[in-house]
Amino acid sequence: MPLSRRHFLQGSSTLAAAAPSQSFAANDRIQAGVIGTGARSHELMQFLMRVPGVEIVGVSDAYTGRVERALERVGKKAKAYSSYKEILADKSIEAVVVATPDHWHKNMVIEAVQSGKDVYCEKPLTYRSLEGLEIVRAARQAKRIVQVGSQGVSSEAQRKAREMIRAGKLGRVTMIRAAYNRNTASGAWIYPIPPDASPRTVNWEAFLGPAPKRPFSLERFFRWRCYEDYSGGIATDLFVHLCTTIHFLMEAKAPSRVTGMGQLYRWTGSRDVPDTLNAILEYPEGFTVNLSSTFNNQFSAEGSFQILGAEGSILLGDGMTFVAENAIEDNRWIVESWPSKLEEEYYKNPKVRQEELPHTHQPKLKPVTEQYRSEGADSTLSHMAGWVDAIRTRKPPYEDALVGHRAAACAHMVNQSVKQRRVVEWDFQKEDVKA
Ligand SMILES: NC(=O)c1ccc[n+]([C@@H]2O[C@H](COP(=O)([O-])OP(=O)(O)OC[C@H]3O[C@@H](n4cnc5c(N)ncnc54)[C@H](O)[C@@H]3O)[C@@H](O)[C@H]2O)c1
């Protein structure tokens, strides 16, 4: 079972668990705006429309085709705004979804909270690590809810996994392995470009925003993940999901040390970010993480997200599987090399008789396996419902700006390590990457 984005992120969850509280009057519908109505945003809008008590009243995008489709999707009651700043200036809009390319997140989130809006910002929260604390401070000052969009943590599978780890069912967890492997052009972010895209339908300046000035390019506009002017590539697109989950499951903040290696082997000519990335993250809580991703092969061992403890493992994917450890002591090949008399005596030792003999002379015991299948609502639906609940109750959601900052920072540390060919460290006092 390769760990596809869908498998891992769409693990089930029930809407009830994160349903909005009843403290607001039933007719008090939250008026929401959507900034960036691209591919992900269309998924988000479909889910948000299913959360009770929310209405999408405004949309804005830098390509006319996506505005057109967004209005089709949410109904003609919604209005198109020619710029995100107009959405933010509209006092009747209380909350916004930000689903633009990563290089825009910081400005849009900060301007949104300063305009009094609560925010759902897609992952990664930041394009550069140093943007994270700026966002955290702005959200706190404005007393606004910011939730980041790594929806996996709202899935039933990940919540069940967290409970098991907390309850000690896995024993001591010291190793986590997770991978994303793909072997298609689309998986490598070479998305189709709509045939009507041109300088007439695409607002290039709006897309560029804080990014370096460049001549008009449809490849850059529609395949922005391939370019480091707008994205951190595999690390910020994919590893950030894995890190959010790992922090959630292990109740960890950030890794103390990170090292990475990345190469662009195959999809040359279409990008300036690696298509192959490996990273090691060491956590002060006492565990180490291996993250890897290739866009050149999609074979994956079953359960490519593995949480490994001395007494059991959890495999996360489409649902969740717990497998008890079945380790047996067997020193036969060692003591067979001793003098015969000593070998005989070894097996007379009551401890050895108890720990080694029953197993070595019996067929191997089958490991205990427990499986939790995906049932119930999609994790994005639960994640959005959790955001709406936080808006109503004013209680911070799990994946607030600080949590989003730390997860995105892991991705930035991996990229920094690749570029600088060194181990990158986290400063726990500063809550940011060590200079
Ligand atoms: N949580 C998930 O599973 C998940 C999945 C996919 C994407 N994402 C995230 O969602 C975000 C968007 O990704 P996508 O795949 O939808 O990309 P996309 O290119 O399909 O959509 C981005 C949209 O933003 C628009 N845009 C750019 N600048 C703008 C501006 N100044 N004002 C208004 N609109 C602007 C573009 O026109 C485009 O339509 C990214 O941060 C990505 O990492 C998250």
For residue 11, how far is its CA from the centre of ligand 1 (angstroms)? 22
Burial (0-12, 13-18, 19+ Cβ within 10 Å), 385: buried
For residue 101, how far is its CA from the centre of ligand 1 (angstroms)? 5
| Top mutation candidate among 4, 8, 61 for ligand 1, by most atoms within 8 Å of CB | 61
- Residue 300: the pLDDT is 76
Cβ atoms of 113 and 146 within 8 Å: the answer is yes
- Residue 318: the pLDDT is 78
Q: Determine whether the shortest distance from the Cβ of 38 to ligand 1 is under 6 A.
A: yes
- Residue 26: the pLDDT is 44
For residue 290, how far is its CA from the centre of ligand 1 (angstroms)? 28
In the chain, CATH 3.40.50.720 sits at: 5-153+377-400
41 Cα nearest atom in ligand 1: 16
- Residue 299: the pLDDT is 87
Q: Residue 306 forms beta bridges with which residues?
A: 177, 315
Nearest CA to ligand 1 atom 7: 40
- Residue 372: the pLDDT is 87
For residue 96, how far is its CA from the centre of ligand 1 (angstroms)? 14
In the chain, CATH 3.30.360.10 sits at: 156-209+219-325+368-374+408-433
For residue 40, how far is its CA from the centre of ligand 1 (angstroms)? 6
For residue 44, how far is its CA from the centre of ligand 1 (angstroms)? 11
Distance, CA of 390 to CA of 423 (rounded, Å): 37
- Residue 353: the pLDDT is 87
Over the Cα atoms of the chain, what is R_g? 24
Q: Determine whether the shortest distance from the Cβ of 104 to ligand 1 is under 6 A.
A: yes
- Residue 361: the pLDDT is 57
| 32-60: pLDDT as tens digits | 999 999 999 999 999 999 999 999 999 99
For residue 15, how far is its CA from the centre of ligand 1 (angstroms)? 25
For residue 36, how far is its CA from the centre of ligand 1 (angstroms)? 6
- CATH number for 156-209+219-325+368-374+408-433: choose from 3.40.228.10, 1.10.10.10, 3.40.50.2300, 3.30.360.10: 3.30.360.10
Q: Give whole-number Cα distances, 163 to 172, 251, 374, 376, 408, in Å.
A: 14, 11, 17, 19, 24
| Top mutation candidate among 41, 88, 198, 378 for ligand 1, by most atoms within 8 Å of CB | 41
pTM comes to: 0.93
For residue 54, how far is its CA from the centre of ligand 1 (angstroms)? 21
| Range 5-153+377-400 has CATH code 3.20.20.140 | no
Neighbours of 184 (CB within 10 A): 9
- Residue 207: the pLDDT is 99
| Top mutation candidate among 3, 67, 98, 100 for ligand 1, by most atoms within 8 Å of CB | 100
Instruction: Tell me the two tokens of residue 120.
Output: 């759902």
Burial (0-12, 13-18, 19+ Cβ within 10 Å), 336: exposed
Q: Determine whether the shortest distance from the Cβ of 206 to ligand 1 is under 6 A.
A: yes
Nearest CA to ligand 1 atom 28: 207
Q: Determine whether the shortest distance from the Cβ of 99 to ligand 1 is under 6 A.
A: yes
Q: Determine whether the shortest distance from the Cβ of 41 to ligand 1 is under 6 A.
A: yes
- Residue 301: the pLDDT is 56
Cβ atoms of 264 and 275 within 8 Å: the answer is yes
42 Cα nearest atom in ligand 1: 16
Q: Give whole-number Cα distances, 292 to 126, 184, 234, 274, 305, in Å.
A: 21, 17, 9, 12, 10
| Top mutation candidate among 40, 64, 207, 221 for ligand 1, by most atoms within 8 Å of CB | 40
H helices, E strands: number in the chain:
17, 18
For residue 267, how far is its CA from the centre of ligand 1 (angstroms)? 22
Q: Which residue positions in the chain have pLDDT lower than 50?
A: 1-2, 11-26, 302
